[in-house]
Structure formats: C-alpha cells, structure tokens
Amino acid sequence: MAGGAVWALAATLAHAGGPALMIGTMSGPDAQIWAEVTKVAARDGLAIKVIEFNDYVQPNAALDAGDLDANGFQHQPFLDSQIRQRGYRIVNVGLTYTSPMGFYSKRLKSLKDLPVGAKVGIQNDPSNGNRALLLLQKYGIVKLKPGAGVNGVNATPLDVAENPRKIRLVELDAAQLPRALPDLDAASINTDYAVKAGLSPVKDAIAIEDLKGPYANLIAVRAQDKDKPWVKKLVAAYESNDVRKFIETKFNGAIIPAF
C-alpha cells in the first residue's frame, strides 16, 4: 500500500474516536516487531493499531499533525534532522533496536574492490547519506573534509575532499536503492529495506557499520504527550522480554535489541 494511502487511513481512524493508539512504522521488520508489541500491550489493556508506511518522511509528518499517537522507525540523528528542517515538536521516549546499515553489491565481494569510476548509490536524506559517506571513509574509499560528519554536522557529497577512485555518488531515496542495485556497483541500504529485498546484513553486506553508535531506533511521540500514562505502557510493552526474544529469534543478529 502506498504511503499516502496509509496516511489517509491513519487520519480516518485517528479521528474516529476509537480506543486504539495509532502507531506509525515502516513495512517489513519494523511492522513485524510492532505486531509482537501489540500482543504484549494488549495484555496490559493497551490497544494498538499499527499503520505501515513505505518512506521515511510521512511517519513524522503524520505524528506532528496528530494523525498518529507515536511512531517507531527512526534513529536520533534522523529525528534531529527532521526537527531542524520542519520544526516538529517530537521527542524520543525510548529505544527499540539497532540495525547497522550496510553496503551491498551484485558485482563485488568487498567494498574495497570498488573499481575506478564505480557508481555508488547512497541515501538522499541528510542523516542516512551521512552514514553512507562515513562508512565509505572508514573503508578508505573517500576522505571527507575536516569536521564533516561529526558533532551533528551531516556530511554530503560536497564534503568529499579526496576520491582517489573517482567513484560517482548517486543519491536516491532510501526506498529506491534495493531496486537500483543491479545498475550500481554498490549501494548503501538501510536494514529494513535490505531485509524486505531479501538481503541479509549478516550474510550479504560487503561493508557494515559497527553496532555501537548513535543509530539505535527509537519510539517518538509529540512533546505534549511524553508524560501521558499510555506512553509509559507503550515503551514497557516494547521493552518486554517477549519482544526481545522475538527480535533475537526472528532476525538472527541483523537487528539487535537496544533496550
């Protein structure tokens, strides 16, 4: 279902006076985890309706507009970027999981095998594009200008100071990168989109981020709601042992609980 259609559904249900909390998330692994959270929350008397999206922009827009009660799909740097760009009053109330972003290729076994002039796909949103550039720098493919990609300053392709292999960076929407992979030498792909495309971060990534870092996903609510009782119940349901076991069993290390 297209993201816009799902958003319209969310708006209709949210204003229908129903008792369920409207939780926005991404289709794929996120939605699978939230389905388990829904079961746990129900035992505590908390009803949840999960609304699935297919891009990273609409869940925050829908939350800020009041069409959702909470969302769970993003990390703090992405949320910070969205707040700076759009003025959202949205806050982090709990961590969910870590899913290291990786580079994938249909042609190469290692990122270090990139040929001269290779076409490399990266995300066109500031925070995930920054992650991709930092990973390219970690593997010695490019060198960024001093200060780029650190202390909250997102690196962009304009910040590439050294590019000895003359790779061509192709910026695409994160959702398009798996489909574009056959036309690229390599592409950075977020774990949720990778798993949906049948790629395993553990088995298929030719380069991957360290697990430790600022990119644990989170649960976000509007600032005005952060102290409401249902928020505490929602976070507790996600942080339950049942959800932890589900993540560890279902995803075999590709997704790791951050609570």
Instruction: Kindly report the average pLDDT of the chain as a whole number.
Output: 91
Q: Which of 23-27, 146-150, 156-160 has the lowest mean pLDDT?
A: 146-150
Who contacts 227 (Cβ-Cβ below 8 Å, separation ≥6)? none
pTM of the model: 0.76
Q: Is the pLDDT of residue 107 over 70?
A: yes
Compute the CA torsion angle 52, 54, 56, 60 (nearest 10 deg).
-40
Burial (CB count within 10 angstroms: exposed 0-12, middle 13-18, buried 19+), residue 197:
middle
For residue 2, what pLDDT is reported?
39
Q: What are 201-241's pLDDT values in tens digits?
A: 889 999 999 877 788 999 999 999 999 999 999 999 999 99
For residue 213, what pLDDT is reported?
73
Q: Domains in the chain, please, with CATH? A: 3-100+213-257 (3.40.190.10), 102-208 (3.40.190.10)
Q: Is the pLDDT of residue 5 over 50?
A: no
Who contacts 223 (Cβ-Cβ below 8 Å, separation ≥6)? 89, 90, 91
